[in-house]
Amino acid sequence: MAQLSPSREDVSAEMGAHVADIEACLSALDKAFAASDGDLITHQSQQLQRTLAESLVAFRKAEQAGLRPLDEALRSRLKLAQSRLLAQQVAVHRANATIDRTLKVLFPGEENSTYGNLGASPVAKALNAYR
């Protein structure tokens, strides 16, 4: 049986569903960040990646069918989603920088050069205590 080509309305509804899925994943990721749950953050990040990949496949199929998959409303929603994602990335980078600064305070750099006598450094001595 021949498959009918999708109509503009069908494609628009499908793209709207994909954008809604992306927005839902971003909201779930926001909640995971707020809960500071590493496992949940990882899970939600992976879910967002899957959702983005599925959306991209649907977008490409619609383009190949000669349809324009995104109208102005969906474009603006995607731009907002992109802004949310960028804000999340900035928050992650800031948290990472804070952790790096804290670790540098807790474990200050050593006087020896990188390729100096590594066996005599306090860190090497501490690691040898566990061997």
pLDDT by residue for the chain (131 residues), tens only, comes to 445 566 777 778 889 999 999 999 999 999 999 998 989 999 999 999 999 999 999 999 888 888 887 889 999 999 999 999 999 999 889 988 998 889 888 887 765 555 555 556 666 666 666 65
At 46 the pLDDT is 96
Q: Is residue 118 part of a domain?
A: no
Q: Is residue 26 part of a domain?
A: yes
pTM greater than the 0.85 cutoff: no
Q: Is residue 40 part of a domain?
A: yes
At 1 the pLDDT is 45
At 45 the pLDDT is 93
At 95 the pLDDT is 86
Q: Is residue 120 part of a domain?
A: no
Q: At which residue do the structure tokens 């050593």 appear?
A: 110
What whole-number distance in Å separates Cα of residue 19 and Cα of residue 13? Answer: 10
At 9 the pLDDT is 76
What whole-number distance in Å separates Cα of residue 106 and Cα of residue 101? Answer: 9
Give the domain range for residue 71.
Answer: 8-109
What's the domain count of the chain? Answer: 1
What whole-number distance in Å separates Cα of residue 66 and Cα of residue 45? Answer: 32
Question: Can you give the length of the chain in residues?
Answer: 131
Q: Is residue 25 part of a domain?
A: yes
Return the H-helix or E-strand segment holding 100.
helix 72-106
Q: Is residue 122 part of a domain?
A: no
At 28 the pLDDT is 95
Q: Which amino acid is at 123?
A: V
At 7 the pLDDT is 72
At 66 the pLDDT is 80
